[in-house]
Amino acid sequence: MRLKDKVAVITGAGSGIGEASAKLFAKEGAKVVVAGRTAAKCARTADEIKSLGGTAISRTCNTARREDVNAAVAETIKILGAVDILVNNAAIGPTPKVLTAISEEEYDQVLAVNLKGTFLCCKAVVPHMQEKKYGKIINISSLAAIAPLATEAHYSAAKAGQLGLTIDLAFELAPFNICVNAILPGITDTDALNGVIPPGVNKYDFLSEQVKGVVPFQRLGTPRDVAGVALFLASDLSSFVTGDRIIVAGGSPLQPVKFD
């Protein structure tokens, strides 16, 4: 088991990439904290892990709120004794809009969850990891960070900000044996894609058409595709990897994907 006895906090773990990562980490021996804004989804993920013999606890946590984050981390350390791995996956996937259609309130909300949330979670776990001289921080960014979607200025800005934070922390925390890396998923089959589906159109027919000529593998990415890379970065197989970004996009070229 690659993560035997490690404690992993995964945000946004009630569904999608976070859920897939939580289940895979638990299968590899980790004790998993399933954190997210929706209590029922987090509890379901944790219960499924426990039904398969894994160790998991669920915690309701809005990563944009410092109080929620600090409480979740403190409780994790109290119950499980450590935080070895942090996966910053919680995010808002807004409906594509041109700049002039994005309100200030919506812009603030997207950056609060997608970027400030990553900052707050890192800030909460880093002192503990520094004391232990060990840690793995994995930020789930997006291909949109380097190939913007052209109609999601707030989302692309937040995801690009995660890359800057990743590189800065990688330099700062390397002396403490803490690895900080980012994953950039491409078009991935998660609930976040629902906002781009036109009314009355089959989701998979629509998305399959979008990936033609864009994704060499000619399919959508899956949460499990991303979780596998997260497992590599969470394990000691990546003990000399930090400040890096790994694109998980089926070979997608670095050009905007426009949803028609």
Spatial contact of 114 and 58, defined as CB atoms under 8 Å apart:
no
By CB atoms closer than 10 A (0-12, 13-18, 19+), residue 29 is middle
Q: What is the C-alpha separation between 29 and 55, in angstroms, rounded?
A: 8
Catalytic residue ranges = 155
C-alpha distance from residue 81 to each of 3, 6, 127, 183 (Å): 15, 10, 14, 27
Spatial contact of 143 and 252, defined as CB atoms under 8 Å apart:
yes
Q: In a 3-state reduction of DSSP, which class is residue 205?
A: helix
Among residues 195, 223, 193, which one has the least CA distance to residue 208?
193
By CB atoms closer than 10 A (0-12, 13-18, 19+), residue 72 is buried
Q: What is the C-alpha separation between 207 and 195, in angstroms, rounded?
A: 12
Paired sense of beta strands 85-88 and 55-60, if any? unpaired
**DSSP string covering 54-97:** -EEEEEE--TT-HHHHHHHHHHHHHHHS---EEEE-----PPPB
